[in-house]
A and B are shown apart, each in its own frame.
Chain A
Amino acid sequence: MSKILVVEDDEFLAETIADCLIFTGHSADRIGTGTEACQMIRANNYDLILLDSMLPDMNGLDILKGYREDKGTSKVLFLTGAKKNEEAAMELGADYFLSKPFEIDELLSVVNRLTGGATANAST
């Protein structure tokens, strides 16, 4: 089981992703604004952070940049809709990116790869 934070302002999307993660045996928190996300990732030791590129108050790239500059070591999966953000995110220290729209299976397989494979078969 890995501890995961979902930073995404679309509440429905965030909820769906979090539920799927919980279903596959992870724990998942979710948060919808950049300011709160910055506090959460510093206060908790997440194994993985799913970070959306476009938040109402901040840009995901800035959050990532600040986090890595502060020597934050959690893995970051960057979620973006724009091609130019993908490269920027990888340069700023994201561990992987997914371009929206992505499918649930795709997301889960990437998450499992990044977290060292909490398995979909984790019995409940």
Chain B
Amino acid sequence: MQSRQQAMVDGKKSKFIELTQSRLNEATNIVETINQAAPSMDQVNILIKHFHQMAGAGGLFRLVDFCQHALEAEEVALALAKKKATPGYSEEINKLKMIILKLSATIDNAAMLTTMGGEGSITPADQAPRPAAPPMQSRVLVVGLSRSDNRSFAAPLFDTIEKSDFLVDEMEGKDVTPQNLLKIKYDAFVIVCPDNPQPAFELARNIRSQRTSMATVPIIFISAKSNFKDKVQAIRGGGDGVFNSTDDPKVIVNRLKKLLEKNKPKRHRVLIVEDDPIQASGLYSFLDAAGFIPFALTDASQFEDALVEAQPDILILDVNLGDVTGFELATIVRQQEKYNTTPIIFLTTENQLQFHVEGAKHGDDYLIKPAPPQLLVATIAGRLERYQTLKDMIGRDGLTGALTHAEFMNTAKRMTENERAGVLYMLMLDIDNFGAINENYGYGTGERVVNELSNVIKETIRSYGITGRIAGDKFAILVDSLTEYELVQIANLLKEEFERRQFETPMGMISATVSGGIAEFQQDMNLNTWFAATRQVLQTAKNRGKSMILKKEKS
């Protein structure tokens, strides 16, 4: 029965692919016509309808990226409709061309997979092994609660988790054992605490102690009673959030979403410039399947716009692009400070080999066309890895591995400019009497103390925040997924933990204390005023006698 249903769905999928290919052809023609004469409303409306329907039906067949592109295209077409016949629609046209190319590539790729027998079939030998596609839906395990539980928060919680596109399982009673919890690789855990929450914390601690990627999996606790001590324990036990059973399930699930977002491996962005649409779309679908975020450009004159849109981590440039060469494009790339270390790979044919010498000035690697896909992916991956290590090294402090001042400020700037970010807090920490430690026990001791503070920050802050070493003994931490209450708790844990550490010196064991200030980012602030405000709170903590964490009082 199941397989007959699958067969029916597969039949529908083939039909959808066919229909989409013809719709895309029509869209291409319309875009071409609009490009030459002012768009007519009828034409634009057909585009909107086509893209809308592609997005609507594409989801049925798990064509996630395809839907995303179709939604994008619909938005651009809607923008075009707003502009009507006023001049200045070339930007939309170019965007549409690019998205249609993406759509064609993804749908062609889907067509290929379908004729090959769908996912899970044996790939032909000339195909590189496809890295497993990222799972469409995250799997969440709710521990200690079932949907049919008679407590009133059970059903809404399960509903909200499901509505948010998660697959949700439940586990309760005798089934709940540390082993069972780890049997399936869940993407997140929601643990409902019993009246005595200790066993729940024990489970979390066990997950955190795993030596696999499970150790960083998001864990959220829900407890029926609000208890200050439990909350602190839950955070200490490795919880990424603690909620009450009376909290709005939407809020709980939003936290879950945010945490999962952070845990996702980064997908690298690749900009391909290749004037042959067939090769471009082939490269596109291959890189897409290999887990990259590809952007394909066939018209080199649009290169600068494409660069802005794609924000690539790596570029693949065809050497021979008609009017210009890939080398010339590389020069444009290198002129921008942001891209002057971005890897560039040139694609060239056998008889252009003499160009290699010239290209060595700008690029990192060559591939002779037609490049075997495995080689292409291996080359890209290798280049990216080296580039990433280098980039990390430049941005990180040699002693502590925290971000350098400049890199921290860059990150902070990005966070404050991100409108979707939640409430942001900055925690600034400064070792008390650090000058005296250096003077009395030597700089080596001072270095160890700083290093230890950095370690304690890593252990307690974990994935909650981004840490920068902003001066010799001063660290700043940006936090966007904790409430102020939780941050204050964690900062105090951090302080206590650090102050327990002992350092060996020629004059015997010593310990050090640390002060901290916390300030929330306010709408009327900019990065500098926020920074100054946090520093001010830290200064107050120092003035009031050190070894304490203070937060900015609400004005």
Contact = CB atoms under 8 A, between A and B. Distances in A.
A20 B55 contact: no
A116 interface: no
Contacts of A10: 52-53, 56-57
B464 interface: no
A101 B58 CA distance: 7
Given A54-B52, A81-B55, A100-B55, A13 B60 contact: yes
B287 interface: no
B351 interface: no
Interface in B175-225: none
A101 B53 contact: no
Nearest to A19: B8
B19 A121 contact: no
Contacts, number: 59
Interface stretch (B9-17, B388-396, B402-410, B538-546): B9-17
6 contacts: A10-B56, A10-B57, A12-B19, A13-B53, A103-B61, A120-B1
B56 A101 contact: yes
A81 B64 CA distance: 14
B267 interface: no
A58 interface: no
B4 to A, nearest CB: 8
Interface of B: 1-2, 4-5, 8-9, 12, 15-16, 19, 52-53, 55-62, 64, 67, 71, 136
Interface of A: 10, 12-13, 16-17, 19-20, 23-24, 54, 81, 100-104, 107, 120-121, 123
A16 B9 CA distance: 8
A100 B59 contact: yes
Nearest to B16: A12
Nearest to A16: B12
A104 B55 contact: no
Contacts of B67: 101
B51 to A, nearest CB: 11
Given A12-B15, A16-B12, A81-B55, A103 B5 contact: no
Contacts of A24: 5
Contacts of B1: 120-121, 123
Contacts of A19: 8, 12
A12 B18 CA distance: 12
Contacts of A120: 1-2, 5
Given A12-B19, A12-B53, A81-B52, A102 B59 contact: yes
Given A13-B56, A17-B60, 6 more contacts: A10-B52, A16-B12, A16-B57, A20-B5, A81-B55, A101-B57
A92 B388 CA distance: 51
Contact of B62 (A100, A103, A107): A103
Contacts of B64: 101
B118 to A, nearest CB: 14
Given A12-B15, A101-B67, A103-B62, A23 B56 contact: no
Nearest to B13: A16
Nearest to A97: B163
Given A19-B12, A54-B52, A12 B57 contact: yes
A101 to B, nearest CB: 2
A13 B9 contact: no
A10 to B, nearest CB: 4
Interface centre among B16, B60, B67 (most CB of A within 10 A): B60
A103 B57 CA distance: 9
A19 B62 CA distance: 18
